[in-house]
Amino acid sequence: VFIPSVEAVCQPLDLLCQSPDATCPSACDSLRVTIKNITNEDIEVDWDKTLFIENGSTSGTFMFDGRFYKDKKNREPNDVIFANSIFSKQIWPSNLIEFNVSRYSGWEHKDLKLGENGVYVTINAGGKVLHESVSVDISREVVQ
């Protein structure tokens, strides 16, 4: 019915993180999920039941571009994936968002941890609820 894939959205590491023994963040703060609908009917991504995967366990839901953190508990509308088409969206794990009280205070996205990161996708298709897990292994080699 659908074929999901996921990739980490990363920024280049700074020069201080180039040493093999340095302790550095992954420099990846979000995921881009892509779903290919291989049916002749529209399907929907149920974002309220789609979960973040971190090292083999689910760990909360996602935030989306244009959504304020204060509204994170509001229902996220389903995205429709048209028949025989491909859908892609950048998503941020909601449990990796924190308030930064520095000079430039505000909400910010913490980096994904090294290791397995992914999405437990929930799809509504033809009156059925379908689930599929897809993940990416973030290593230092991925982000350099």
Which residue type occupies 16? L
- For residues 119 and 53, the answer to whether their CB atoms sit within 8 Å is yes
- pLDDT per residue over 7-17, tens digit each? 988 876 554 45
Please tell me the predicted confidence (pLDDT) of residue 52: 97
Average pLDDT, the chain: 85
Neighbour-count burial of 89, counting CB atoms closer than 10 A to its CB (0-12 exposed, 13-18 middle, 19+ buried): middle
> Around Cβ 46, how many Cβ atoms within 10 Å?
17
Write the pLDDT tens digit of every residue in 43-97: 999 999 999 999 999 999 998 887 776 777 788 899 999 999 999 999 999 988 8
Quote the strand ranges of the chain, DSSP E: 2-10, 28-37, 43-45, 51-54, 57-58, 62-64, 79-81, 86-93, 97-100, 106-109, 115-125, 128-138
Look up the pTM and report it: 0.81
